[in-house]
Amino acid sequence: MSQGEAAGRGAAKPQDQGWAWMVLLAAVVLQGLTLGFPSCIGVFFTDLQHEFQASKSETSWFPSIMVAVLHGGGPLCSILVKRFGCRFVVMLGGLLSGLGMVSSSFCKSISQLYLTAGLITGLGSCFSFQAGVTVLGYYFVRWRTLANAVASTGVSLGFTLWPLLSQYLLDEMGWRNTFLIFGGILLNCCVCGAIMRPIQLASGSLPQSAKPKEEPGSRTEEAQLSNGASPHHPTLQQHTKRTKCFQMLQKYLAFDIFCQNKGYQIYTIGVTWMMMGFALPHVYLVPYAIHNGVEKRKAALLISIIGFINIFIRPLTGLLSGHRVFTGRRIYLFSLAVLLCGLSNFICVISAEFSVLILYCIILSIAMSGVGALTFQVLMDVVEMDRFSSALGLFTILESITLLIGPPLTGLLVDITSDDHYIFYNSSFFLISAALFMGLSFCALEKKNKLREASKAHLDNPSSYQYSETSTEPKAESQSPPAVEYITSI
């Protein structure tokens, strides 16, 4: 064995052992600090509304901007990770998150809160979360699935602990001092980032993103130069810029897949529509309970109940959906979970007593666990893995748009009607209609694919999934699946 090979194997040692488990622990804490943080904003909703004399619609823009940026900043985070590495991006995100919350404690208007806690903290949380998930792909190979599952429990822990801590600090110190303390807590993302030191992989086992690839645009340019075209010709420069821009969009935003793959098209539209109502209970449940006479501490406990149940139900849902019985049919399980989310909202309309709201939170948490566990698994079913990261980029950006506008529009409706029940009517409408749209559309698509397969029985390679669609165009080059995927959770 050569010295280079021995050194390479020695460098690859940290994978799946030793320091990798410390990185996993940091990822759990990181997801609790970032994805779990927006769950506590509803605790401050009433105080912020009174402080700035704002309507429900105006106040709801603050958490909406935070969650939308947290979900939609994926492509920008991917570019930064590729340029500077995961460790730097995680620490940058922690710095931005802390700076945003510290600045928000000095805000004099609700619009300033949109910029500080909404945009800056949301963008910082996005950087820390997505880069933290990415680094797990470097540190874990054999246990990568287990590592991602364990890391996702941090979200549920955040859902459980953030509301309780928020209500305690709010009662003791007020919202401004609480936001100041939150800024210090979120700076711990920098500590988590420091733990995620760069790993030196063995030669030949570098992730695909680290390997230089020859781009089609460079071939075109070389062909034109060989034909005598000047590299400084304006037409050639304009064509090269256009080609590079198109390649960038195709890499991070899969518009071509959206137009060609009916399964991806239906699923993306359905989830985007679903997000108009999915986040409403998280934003409005606590103020709704307080408005109906529930004590503030008990109202904050409702969100913690949702997070606590998620800790146990989400892994079970993941195991159930992984059974071979559901292979190719996970979309129907997902649609059923979305439908249950929508139907559970009618419990709040019937009564606003604390015991009834606890029952609502239990049912909603079970349904949410299914949605959270299956969202990206279904996306993997309908899209080829070598294009998954680009399909995910468009998917998260579209859902972030509806996450942004959903709560403010519902708040405007409540302000006009002065009836809080419209929060749950609105949420049920979007969730139930999205569930029916996805379930029925995929059922029709499955029947269409069966008829097509029957008419083309001579083909030796039928589709792996009953409702997945793959392009029939020949590929120029065979590509291996990307080693690292940038995944955003709900």
HEC string of 58-94?
HHHHHHHHHHHHHHHCHHHHHHHHHHHCHHHHHHHHH
Give per-residue pLDDT as tens, 18-43: 788 898 899 899 989 998 898 888 88
Provide the pLDDT for residue 251: 62
Provide the CB-side half-sphere exposure for 45 (13 A, CA).
Answer: 34
**How many angstroms separate the CA atoms of 283 and 287, rounded?**
8
Q: Are 377 and 332 in contact (CB under 8 A)?
A: no
Q: Are 482 and 389 in contact (CB under 8 A)?
A: yes
Q: In this model, does residue 406 exceed pLDDT 60?
A: yes
Classify 252-457 by CATH class.
mainly alpha
User: What is the full DSSP assignment across 219-236?
Assistant: HHHHHHHHTT--TT-HHH
User: Binning pLDDT at 50, 70 and 90, where does residue 234 land?
Assistant: low
For the four alpha carbons of 245, 246, 249 and 251, in that order, the dihedral sign comes to: negative
The CATH classification of domain 12-200, taken from the options 1.10.1050.10, 3.40.605.10, 2.60.120.10, 1.20.1250.20: 1.20.1250.20
What is the rounded average pLDDT of the residues 88-96? Answer: 93
Q: In this model, does residue 360 exceed pLDDT 60?
A: yes
Q: Are 332 and 439 in contact (CB under 8 A)?
A: yes
More confident residue, 440 or 394: 440
Provide the pLDDT for residue 389: 67
Give per-residue pLDDT as tens, 285-307: 988 998 888 888 888 889 889 88
Q: In this model, does residue 363 exceed pLDDT 50?
A: yes
Question: Is the pTM above the cut of 0.85?
Answer: no
Q: Are 183 and 341 in contact (CB under 8 A)?
A: no
Q: Picking from 198-202, 349-353, 365-369, which range would have the lowest pLDDT averaged per residue?
A: 198-202
Q: In this model, does residue 412 exceed pLDDT 50?
A: yes
The percentage of the chain sitting over the pLDDT mark of 90, rounded to a whole number, equals 32
CA end-to-end span of the chain: 47
Mean pLDDT of the chain: 80
Q: In this model, does residue 458 exceed pLDDT 60?
A: no
Per CATH, 12-200 and 252-457 having the same topology is answered yes
Q: In this model, does residue 261 exceed pLDDT 90?
A: no
Residue 39's SS3 state is helix
User: Binning pLDDT at 50, 70 and 90, where does residue 381 land?
Assistant: confident
Give per-residue pLDDT as tens, 418-451: 888 999 999 999 999 999 999 999 999 888 888 8
Provide the pLDDT for residue 252: 62
Provide the pLDDT for residue 202: 52
Q: In this model, does residue 487 exceed pLDDT 90?
A: no
Q: In this model, does residue 474 exceed pLDDT 90?
A: no
Q: In this model, does residue 343 exceed pLDDT 80?
A: yes
Per-domain residue ranges of the chain: 12-200, 252-457
User: Binning pLDDT at 50, 70 and 90, where does residue 235 land?
Assistant: low
Provide the pLDDT for residue 358: 93
Give per-residue pLDDT as tens, 174-227: 999 999 999 999 999 999 999 988 876 554 444 443 343 444 444 444 444 334
Angle between helices 354-382 and 262-278 (to 10 degrees): 160
Give per-residue pLDDT as tens, 115-152: 999 999 999 999 998 888 878 878 887 776 677 777 87
According to the 3-state scheme, what is the secondary structure of 244-292? HHHHHHHHHCCHHHHHHCHHHHHHHHHHHHHHHHHCHHHHHHHHHHHHC
Provide the pLDDT for residue 435: 95
Provide the CB-side half-sphere exposure for 19 (13 A, CA).
Answer: 16
What amino acid is encoded at 53 in this protein?
A: Q
